[in-house]
Amino acid sequence: MDNIIAGILIVLIAIYMGLPFLLTRICGWGVFRKARRKRAHRHVAFTFDDGPDPDYTPELLDLLRERGVKATFFVLGSKAEKYPELVKRMHEEGHQIGIHNYTHMPNWVMTPRNIRREHVERSADIIERITGERPTFYRPPWGILNMGDLFLLRKSYRLVLWSIIARDWKLDTGECNLRKLLSERIEPGSVIVLHDSGDTFGADREAPKQMITVLRDVLSETHRRGLKCVRTDELMKLEHAV
């Protein structure tokens, strides 16, 4: 009997955690990861997770403003609550703001009800109070969704992952490797995920400084290649244009 119960639990856990990973990360079902090259018309989307951060987000916003780039920030509700002036600046400068949970907790260890009420809706309320606009795009920490998310969150939010991730949260990636990885992989339709805060689990505190240094060069290169940087919602519109 114990073996049967253990087997049932393993199957349920596999369905709750493993099936969404297969559907979203491997198959791309139910999430937006990139626009098709023919639809993208030489557009790409830079996205930034884990902020806002009082040390690095202002520097990043300065760079984006200098280059005339619009991006998408998936912010943590707890940090938006703590640094509302940075969220307000993002909004006023034309960037899209999405939700990245209230704290950087993986969805696998929470119930769908808890995620929706205590993380997503709570963060949406905070952002709406600051900007006057309710966010409708959501990216879970580490890109991890559970089975409930696919049914509950997709009713109200667009789920966004990425096509390019560059391990920019670790200093040992190095400027050269980070620059090379981004330069080689960025193509029309790409959704690039970077991080403007280094205080989440597994990240190096000073890593965003390295990322911003590299991003300065990468933005210059994308401009030379004739690629235009847009918000995720704008790239998605191109993908679904008739």
Residues marked as catalytic: 49, 195
Neighbours of 209 (CB within 10 A): 15
Q: Are 168 and 195 in contact (CB under 8 A)?
A: yes
| Angstrom distance (rounded) from CA 231 to CA 206 | 26
Dump the DSSP string for 32-100.
B----HHHHTTEEEEEEES---TTTHHHHHHHHHHHT---EEEE-HHHHHH-HHHHHHHHHTT-EEEE-
Beta bridge partners of 138: 99, 159
Q: Cα–Cα distance between 101 and 7 in angstroms, integer?
A: 32
Instruction: Give the Cα separation of 82 and 53 in Å (integer).
Output: 10
